[in-house]
Amino acid sequence: MKDNPMNAANIRIGVVGLGLMGCSIVTCLLMAGHPVVAVAPVSADLQFALKRIRNHLLRSRREKLVQHPPAKFLQHLIITEDYHQLAGAALVVECTLENLDIKKTVYEKIEAVIDQNALLASNTSAIPISILQQQTTHPERFFGLHWAEPSHTTRFLEVICGDKSDISNGEYLYKLSHLWGKEPTLVRKDIRGFITNRIMYAMYREAIWLVEQGYATVEDVDRACRNNAGYWMTLVGVFRWMDLTGVPAYHTVMKDLFPTLNNSTEVPKLIDDIVKKGGKGVANAHGFHSYTAEEAELWEETFTRFSYDIRKLALKYPEDVVKKKLKSKSKKTTKSNT
Ligand SMILES: NC(=O)c1ccc[n+]([C@@H]2O[C@H](COP(=O)([O-])OP(=O)(O)OC[C@H]3O[C@@H](n4cnc5c(N)ncnc54)[C@H](O)[C@@H]3O)[C@@H](O)[C@H]2O)c1
């Protein structure tokens, strides 16, 4: 993968695994202009994949993310069960179940057909990339590409290097992903959970502990999160937030608060009970909150609606928003001086 990433919209990309995330990743890559080969590792994927991808494309057109109708993008898509169609792909993104044995079997099939210098990436949520790349014959070309659902609307992407990854290819993926509408993060050294899951899981653990210990209800914790972090996190991350609101206060609070935070290494009972009873959340109307089937369905629809709305707001505030303002200010000053 030596081309200039900025000329790379026409490179062929493969996606293996066409579940929830595989379909939105395919949509994102098609919208960026790539020809995409989408491989269904289990036949059941074929039942829903095309419909899901078409629906994403239709909705994206309605929301003005793209100008063209789905057919324009779908002509660049091959959906198949045949791994041989991946030959010629410069990058293959694996998006199968979070299970090491399944991923290993899938890598064997992918590596048997792709070019020696093609890159292979996993959308794993939390399996260390250094462990996954041990399952491959060319670990130097293996990376984590951690997307956020729905991949065609979110700016989030972590590019993660394992111990044996060639960093120059990681830098290439980092640059390439700007074409996909991402504000990516390059994780140069592998760590379990990467960046955001380490931060988010610390928060999930504390949230569950507060409920289990009777300090607050699930509803109260959710409301607090929405109206605190939920209010500012689309604009700034935690470090800029501390800068904005005054660093010394955080220093003072840390001294007294840190010793009281939960640091248990066990999976909490609250979530364990839900999972053991088959609870999946909104997907089967059984999670931390209670739902009627109709409410669960409406939550899914509301989340989709919100992901398009928040995207519009987020686009007004890119990472370099202040740099851009300074630039246009200095342009105006130069103009008025001449
Ligand atoms: N759902 C999310 O929000 C999210 C976010 C980030 C990362 N991920 C990661 O993305 C990956 C896929 O997650 P998802 O949410 O799309 O899951 P999903 O359950 O919707 O899809 C999983 C896919 O795995 C494949 N699969 C199932 N059994 C298989 C088998 N025996 N052999 C080969 N393939 C098989 C199928 O193609 C299926 O569509 C996981 O590694 C997950 O951790 C998910």
H helices, E strands: number in the chain? 14, 8
Residue 96 alpha carbon to ligand 1 centre in Å: 4
Residue of the CA atom closest to atom 32 of ligand 1 = 102
pLDDT in tens, 318-335: 999 999 999 998 888 888
The DSSP bridge partners found for residue 77 are: 36
Atom of ligand 1 nearest to the CA of 23: 16
Q: What is the structure's pLDDT at 264?
A: 97
Residue of the CA atom closest to atom 7 of ligand 1 = 125
pLDDT in tens, 175-233: 999 999 999 999 999 999 999 999 999 999 999 999 999 999 999 999 999 999 999 99
Q: What is the structure's pLDDT at 219?
A: 98
pLDDT in tens, 17-53: 999 999 999 999 999 999 999 999 999 999 999 999 9
Residue 2 has pLDDT above 60, yes or no: no
Residue 118 alpha carbon to ligand 1 centre in Å: 22
Band (337; pLDDT cuts 50, 70, 90): confident
Q: What is the structure's pLDDT at 183?
A: 94
Q: What is the structure's pLDDT at 331?
A: 86
Ligand 1 pocket list (CB less than 6 A): 17-22, 41-42, 45, 95-98, 102, 106, 123-125, 146-147, 149
Residue 123 alpha carbon to ligand 1 centre in Å: 9
Residue 10 has pLDDT above 90, yes or no: no
CATH code of the domain occupying 198-316: 1.10.1040.10
- Ligand 1 pocket mutation pick from 45, 97, 282 by most atoms within 8 angstroms of CB: 97
Mean residue pLDDT of the chain comes to: 95
Q: What is the structure's pLDDT at 338?
A: 72
Same fold, 5-187 and 198-316: no
Out of 3.40.640.10, 1.10.3720.10, 3.40.50.720, 3.40.190.10, the CATH code matching 5-187 is 3.40.50.720
Q: Does residue 264 contact residue 209 with C-beta atoms inside 8 Å? A: yes
Residue 7 has pLDDT above 70, yes or no: no
Q: What is the DSSP letter of 216?
A: S
Domain ranges of the chain: 5-187, 198-316
Whether the bond into 150 is cis, omega within 30 of 0: yes
Give the orientation angle of helix 196-212 with respect to helix 218-227, to 10 degrees: 140
pLDDT in tens, 151-170: 999 999 999 999 999 999 99
Q: How many CB atoms lie within 10 A of CB 97?
A: 13
Residue 329, amino acid:
K
In angstroms, how far is CA 118 from the centroid of its own chain? 22
- 144: three-class secondary structure by DSSP: strand
Q: Work out the average pLDDT over 270-284.
A: 97
Atom of ligand 1 nearest to the CA of 147: 6
d(CA 126, CA 195): 10
Q: What is the structure's pLDDT at 335?
A: 81
d(CA 281, CA 260): 29
Residue 274 alpha carbon to ligand 1 centre in Å: 21
155: its two tokens: 């700016």
Band (6; pLDDT cuts 50, 70, 90): low
